[in-house]
Structure 1
Amino acid sequence: MSPAAPDAPEGTRRPVAYVLAVLLTGLAGGLAGVSLALLLHAIQHLAFGYSPHALLGMESFLDGVRAAPPWRRLVVLVGCGTVAGLGWWVLHRFCRPFVSVEAAMADPATPMPAATTIGHVLLQIVTVALGSPLGREGAPRQLAALAAGRLASALRLPAEEARVLIACAAGAGLAAVYNVPLGGALFTMEVLLASFAPAVAVPALGAAAVAAAVAWVGLGDIYQYRLPPLAVSASLVAWAAACGPVLGLGGWLYRHAMRRARTGAVHDARSILFCLLVFGLIGLAAMPFPALPGNGKGPIQLGLDGTLGIGVAAMLMVLKILATTGALRAGADGGLLTPGMTIGALLGVVLGGVWSLAWPSGAGHGAYALVGATAFLSVSMRMPITAIVLGFELTRADDDFALPVLVAVAVATAMARLCDGMRRAE
C-alpha cells in the first residue's frame, strides 16, 4: 500500500465536497475515456484507410490493417516511430518531469504537470492508433488523475482524500475506456490503494460507475471481445491446473522484462533513431503478420475465435514480446494490460493446442485463450482479483468458466510468489 501523505494544513474533511469530488471524478474519467477512444479510432481509420465515416462501426482495427496493403503497414509504423521518437524526446528535453499516477498519489501536494501529462496522453493514443504494440489504457487513467488532482486542490481536500480521489480517477478512466466498471473499481482497490476498506471501496465503485455510464452515452454499452459458445469440461479444468505454473512463470518473467525495459529506456536524442528502428522493424513484421500492430486486441480476438493454429500463435507471441520490449526500450510509453493479456491468450492457445492432442477438452481453443489471458494478466500486473473480473467483463463469459479461471489464476499466482521468494533468497 502506498504510504499516506500527511493531511495538508488547510485540508478539512467536508463530506459533501468529497462526495461531489467523487462524482466529478467519475465524470472526468468517463469523458477522458470517450474522447480518447474517439481520437484513437479516428487516427486508426485515417492511417490505415478504412471506415472513414463510421468511427464506431463494425469493422475492427484488425480488419482495417488486414485490408491495407503491406507497404502501407510499413509506412504507417515508420510514421509511428517518427512521432514516438520526436514526441517523447521533446517531452523529456523541454517539459517538466512526468509525474505518474502512483507518484501523485504518494504526494498529492506535488501535482501532475498539465502540459507534460497531456503530452504523454496524446502521444500514447496517437502511437497506439498508428500501431504501437503498447496499451492505450494508461492514457485515460493519467488524464482523469490529472483532473482529479486539480479538483482535490481546488476543493482543498485533505491529503488522504486527495490520494483516494486520484486513485479513483485512474480506475474510472480504465472503467470508461474498456466498459469495465467493476474491473476499474477493483483496479483502484487492489492495485493502486491495496485496500478493500469501505472508505476506499465506496468512492472507487461510485467513480467507476459514473465513468462507465458516461462512456455508454458516448460509445455505447459494448464489450471488447466476442466470445463464441464454449463448453467447460474436466479436460479444461485439468489443463488449467497443469499449465497454471507455466502461465505464472511466463507472467513473472514478462513483468520483470518489461520493468527492465522501462528502466533502461532511452530518453535523449538517441530515442529518435531507436524508435525509428524498432517501429520500422515492427512494420516489416506487420507485412506478413497484420495482427501484430496495435495493443493486441486483434490477436486476443483471434485466439477467442479459435482461428489461430499453434504455429501462428507461437510466432505472434514471440513477435509481440519482442515488439513490446523494443518499444519500451526505445523510449516509447504505454500500458501493459492489453499486451499482457495478448501474450497470455496466445500462450494459452499454444499450450491448449498441445494438450488437446492428448486429451481434447471439447471447449475449443477460445477457452484456452480466455483462461490463459486471465491467468497471465493476474501475474504480469500483480492483480489476481482484478484480472478475473476483467476476464469476465471484457468477454461476458459464462459463469461456468469461473472454475478453470480460478484454478489457473490460483496456481499461476502461487508460482509467481514462489519465483519472488527464490529471487529474494539469492
Structure 2
Amino acid sequence: MESLYIAGGVLALIVFFLGLGVWVFAGLLLVSIAGLSLFIDMPLARIGTILGPIMIRSATGWELSAIPMFVWMGEIILRTDISTRLFKGLSPLTFHLPGRLLHTNIVGSAIFAAICGSSAATTATVGKITVPELDRRGYYSPLTYGSLAGAGSLGLLIPPSIIMIVYGVVAEVSISRLFAAGILPGLMIAGFYSLYVIAVSLLFPKVAPADTARPSAADMLRGVGNLLPIGLLITLVLGAIYSGIATPSETAAVGVGVTLIYTVVTGQMSGKVFMESLFASVHTSCMISAIMISAAFMSTAMGFMHVPQDISAAIGRFQLSPYELILVLTLLYIVLGMFLEGVSMTVMSLPITLPLVLAAGFDPIWFGIFLILMIELAQITPPIGFNLFILQDLTRTSITRIIFAASPFFLLMCLGVLCITLWPQIVLWLPDQLYSK
C-alpha cells in the first residue's frame, strides 16, 4: 500500500511542477530528485552519481543522430516551394473525386508527412496553401479545417517520424521496423478521411462547389510533374531504409543532402534560408534531447521507488483482459494528450505502460504505432491540441469552431485505433514482410 502512496506522490509532483509552467525537462528532473529525496531518503550526492551516467548515455545514442537530420530536412522543406507544388500537382488529379480539392488537404498532408516527420509542420505548411484557396473557392469551411486538422496529424504516423525515433530509442526496438509499421495504418486513416469527405460531398453537394475549369490531359501531366521532386525524395529516403542500404540515421543525412541540392538547383537557397533552417533544427533537437535525458532519469528514479512495478501489480490485481487494458490505456492517453505534447507523453508514460502491454502479450512494435495514434489524437484534442491552435492562427477563426470541425476526424482516428487493435496485422504485416528472418 505504501508503494501506491509513493506513486500518487510522484503524480502529484508532476502535476505541481508542470502546473507551475516549468519547462518539461526541468519539471521531470525536479520530480525525480524530489521523489528520490522525499520518498526513499536518497542523499543528493547519490542522486548526482546516478544522474551523470544517465545523461551521458541518453545523449550519445547513435540512433538519436537521425533526429536533428530529419528535423533539419523538414525545416528546409518548410522554406521551399514544395507545398505549392503539392497543391498544383494534386488539384487536377483530385478533380473527379467527390469533394474535389478537399482531398488536397488529406493527400497533400500524407505526402508531406513522408518527407517531414512533424505533425505541426505538416499542418502549417499544407494549410498555408490550401486553406486560403479553398476558402476563396467557397468550400465548406468546417470540412476544410477538420480535414486539415486530422490529416495534418499524419506527420507523426507516416515515416520518417521524429516520435517513432524517440519511441524506438526509449523502448529499444527497431526504428526501421517502426517506420515500416506506420505506413499501412497511416494510409488506412487517410483513406477513412477521404471516404468521409466523399460521403459528405455526395450527401451535401454544396460543401464542394462545382469547378467549371475541367483539367485537360496536359494539366494532369503538369500535375504529375509537380509531384515528381517530392516522389523522388520520398523514394530515396524510405527506399534506402527498407532496402537495408542505409540505417535511419544515414538515410536522414542523405535526405538532408538531397533537399539541399533541390533548394540550390531550384534557386531557393540563400544564406538566410540556410541559417534559419539550421538554427530552428538545433532548437527543436535540443528540446527533444533535453526531454529524453530528463525522462530517462525519471524512469530510473521511478525504478528505485518501485513505481512501475507497483502500478503494474495493482493493475494486474484487476485481472483485465488485453482489450480492457488497451481501453484503459486509451482513456489514459487521451487525458494525458489534453495537457502534454507527444515527446513528453512518450517518455513519461513508457516506463509504466510498456511493461504492462508486453505482459499482456502485445508486440512492442504494435504498441509503438498505437501510442503514436494516441499522440495524434492529442494533436486535435482540447485544451492543448497543437493542430487546433495552428489552424486557429491560419484561419483567424474561433477555437470552438475549429474543435467542432475536427470532431468527426477525431472519431475517425478512434476508428483507426479500433481497427489496429482488432486486426494487429495492419501494423505488423509490412515490417514482417520486409524484415522477416
Q: Which has the higher contact order (CA 8 A, sep 6+)?
A: 2
Max Rg structure: 2
Instruction: Give the TM-score taking structure 2 as reference length.
Output: 0.26
Instruction: Give the TM-score taking structure 1 as reference length.
Output: 0.27
- As a proportion of its length, which structure holds more helix? 2
